[in-house]
Amino acid sequence: MGHIALLSNPLAGKGRGRDATAQAVAHLRSRGAEVRVFTGDSAEASRSLVVRALHEHPDVLVIVGGDGTLSTILDPVCAAGAPIALVAAGTGNDLARALGLPRRDAAAAAELALTGAARVIDVGEVRTRDRTAGFLTVAALGFDARVSDRTNRLRWPHGALRYYLAVVIELVRLRALRFTVAVDGGVAETGLGTLVAVGNTASYGGGMPVCAGAVPDDGMLDLVEVSRLGRLRLLRLFPLLLTGRHLARREVTHRRARTVTVSAPGLVVYADGERLGEDECTISVRPGALTVMTPMDGGAHEVR
């Protein structure tokens, strides 16, 4: 074996990244691996450091951080073709959930760099007016994106309460958007709606399966649209959304696609917890773009 490069975001998960890095490095070195550590506390630093790390041709690149940490460095990682091992240390960790990776044991997650099975997965791509960015989990457009936007702007309270406060604020401000959606180059359809979600994996927000049934290695995206809802009906839908049972409701449509173009006045676009643009976007899939080291047994015990 050559060496393992480890890229750490110590600020991930409100500081969980720092402890997870220490545990991962200690475990890998105890197993006799040569580990070269690169620590970046910003997206810009991580992008610069990953290029340096990959230039040294590691056998495996270990990423310690959340979905957002990995999504910010997707382009150089995919271009290099290096397999990655993800030590989930973010707030949502929805990619780790989708792949059955350990989410509470940094040493077990790091061990996959040595003994895991390589799994080739797809990467989503969002193109907006200003940028093109890869994503791994779900692109959110509409009410859910506005909740994420509000959560990021609130300075109080902390933790889950901040998200719930953002939900309340956006419910008060709820208004339907006039979405125009075109799928796989077909005829664009326009109508009032509450949200649109385009998933490479099933969940966002730490396990909310908005695109229930989506898998990251089928070369397809799952498109979920929720029609215009009032506040009370939206509140009634949320418990179903938390369990993935919302897809059976008549106000929800679900289909699969390779390319989705969405526009709406006032549209906000989020993916992997990051704001990517507004007003209009085209979302597509890059089949088989990323190799991830995963548990030999599929990690079924970690999916729950």
pLDDT in tens, 114-130: 999 999 999 999 999 98
| pLDDT above 60: residue 79 | yes
pLDDT digits (tens, 9 = 90+) for 133-147: 999 999 999 998 988
pTM of the model: 0.91
- Calculate what percentage of the chain has a pLDDT beyond 70: 97
Q: pLDDT value at position 205?
A: 82
| pLDDT above 70: residue 66 | yes
For residue 230, name the pLDDT band (cuts at 50, 70, 90): very high
DSSP assignment of 115-152: HPEEEEEEEEEEEESS-EEEESSEEEEEHHHHHHHHHH
Give how far Cα 65 sits from Cα of 27, 213, 215, 248, 294, Å: 17, 25, 22, 34, 16
| pLDDT above 50: residue 54 | yes
Per-residue pLDDT, averaged over 100-118, amounts to 97
How far apart CA 116 and CA 147 sit, in angstroms, is: 36
pLDDT digits (tens, 9 = 90+) for 10-27: 988 878 899 999 999 999
Nearest to 42, CA basis, from 21, 78, 73: 73
| pLDDT above 80: residue 159 | no
| pLDDT above 70: residue 304 | no
